[in-house]
Amino acid sequence: MTRIDPIRGLGAIPGTVSVHHSTRPDRARALARHMACQPEGAAACLLDDGEFAHFRNEKLLARHAI
């Protein structure tokens, strides 16, 4: 079973990121389990292979494919 384990990131943006989301079906189930334990309104960003997210002041401006 895939798990989402917390890691200490840069701390610039609060929330959860799920990478390789559409190519790994197990990630969706793991994210659902993880988010069920988070406070209501917690943020999650889902990214597919080759994508990155562009944030400014904690607001998602765009998702880009490379």
The tens digit of pLDDT for each residue in 8-61 reads 767 777 888 888 888 888 888 888 998 999 999 988 988 988 999 998 888 889
Tokens (6 digits) for 58: 């904690």
DSSP 8-state code for residue 65: E
Q: Which residues contact 62 (CB under 8 A, 6 or more apart)?
A: 53, 54
Task: Report the amino acid identity of residue 27.
Answer: R
pTM: 0.68
Tokens (6 digits) for 62: 């765009």
62, β-bridge pairs: 54
User: Contact at 8 Å (CB) between 28 and 21?
Assistant: yes
